[in-house]
Amino acid sequence: MTWSHFVPTFVGLFVIVMLRANATYWIGRGAAAGTRRWRRLEGEPSAGWARAQGLVHRWGPLAVVLCFLTVGVQTAVNATAGITRMPLRRYLPAVTLGSILWAALYASVGLAAAQAWLSAAARSPVVATVVAVLLVVGLLVLGVRRRAQRDVRS
């Protein structure tokens, strides 16, 4: 991978993740304002939302930065930061740093993985297709097992 590929990929990913994370934050702030007007919430929050809220309360901006290094928690943490009205002076530096980390990770490792996958697919499309199908099936099985374990616990 060369810098001529990395830089535009990094910049594009950074802009996308900043827009997405900040939109999620502001949606969370809007939702919080709406629920405060009603003064009553119905139902319990999901386990993911509860975990994200715990992270934001405990770690604050650090939770925002670190959520970008995880899978499946980013939206919940950024929305929770909005819902809990994390001050922008704390949120903006954290989301910027997290977005830089995320964009660098995906622009380097992600781009290299995509190039490796395309190279392998060009050499042997059948093997690449079988591997992709097995990967998708494995992820689906893992997701079903995790959901079943959560259902058993609750």
Amino acid at position 25, single letter: Y
Residue 129's pLDDT is 85
End-to-end CA distance of the chain: 47
User: How far apart are the C-alpha atoms of 44 and 29, rounded to whole Å?
Assistant: 19
- Lookup result for tokens 């943490």: 77
Distance CA 135, CA 150 (A): 23
Cα separation of 154 and 150, whole Å? 6
Predicted local distance difference test score (pLDDT) of residue 117: 79
Q: What is the dihedral of CA 44, 49, 55, 57, to 10 degrees?
A: -50
CA distance 99 to 118: 26
pLDDT score of 143: 83
Q: For position 96, what pLDDT does the model report?
A: 97
**pLDDT at residue 46, as a whole number:** 66
pLDDT of residue 50: 73
pLDDT by residue for the chain (154 residues), tens digit each?
567 888 999 999 999 999 999 999 999 999 877 765 554 555 566 677 677 777 777 778 898 999 998 877 899 899 989 988 888 999 999 999 999 999 999 898 887 887 887 888 888 888 888 888 888 898 888 888 888 887 777 6
pTM for the whole structure: 0.69
87 CB neighbour count, 10 Å cutoff: 10
Q: What is the pLDDT of residue 45?
A: 62
Q: Both tokens of residue 18?
A: 């900043």
Three-state SS string across 51-105, please?
HHHHHHHHHCHHHHHHHCCCCCCHHHHHHHHHHCCCCHHHHHHHHHHHHHHHHHH
